Amino acid sequence: MNMVLLFLACADDEEAEKISQSLLKKRLIVCAKKTPVSSAFFWKRKIDKANEVLLVMETIEENFEEIEKEVRKIHSYETFVLSAIPVVKYSKGVAEWLKEGLKK
């Protein structure tokens, strides 16, 4: 069981809430944190900017494909970036929390 942090930019708070609640209810993640961000990005041959909401989610690597499939159903972007960052160390009790909270 390999813990990862997932990062996903969403169009707004409503979209971020909808995605995080869906993933929590399906027990694919154990936690979702939301924070507003100002983004600058290259899209369709030009530099663009947007105010977005960044979701940071805690889960295990093994759930990535199922999470991506669920996000695709809900997310408004034509192309979204869902990225997973491995967690190499975490505090005592986290492994048990992950096992208890995630879909088996």
- Tens of pLDDT along 14-70? 999 999 999 999 999 999 999 999 999 999 999 999 999 999 999 999 999 999 999
pLDDT class of 104 with cuts at 50, 70, 90:
low
How many domains does the structure of the chain reveal?
Answer: 1
Q: What is the pLDDT of residues 73-95, one digit of tens each?
A: 999 999 999 999 999 999 999 99
Q: Please answer whether residues 40 and 47 qualify as being in contact, where contact means their C-beta atoms are separated by less than 8 angstroms.
A: yes
The CATH number of whichever domain residue 47 belongs to comes to 3.30.70.120
Query: Domain range spanning residue 62?
Result: 3-101
Q: Given a cut of 80, is residue 97 above it in pLDDT?
A: yes
Measuring CA to CA, which residue among 77, 42, 54, 49 is closest to residue 7? Answer: 54
Structural tokens at position 60: 């295990």
DSSP element (H, E) containing 97: helix 94-101
Residue 57 φ/ψ, nearest 5 degrees:
-125, 145
SS3 (DSSP) at 54: strand
Question: Residue for token digits 């199922």?
Answer: 66
pLDDT single digits (tens) 63-73: 999 999 999 99
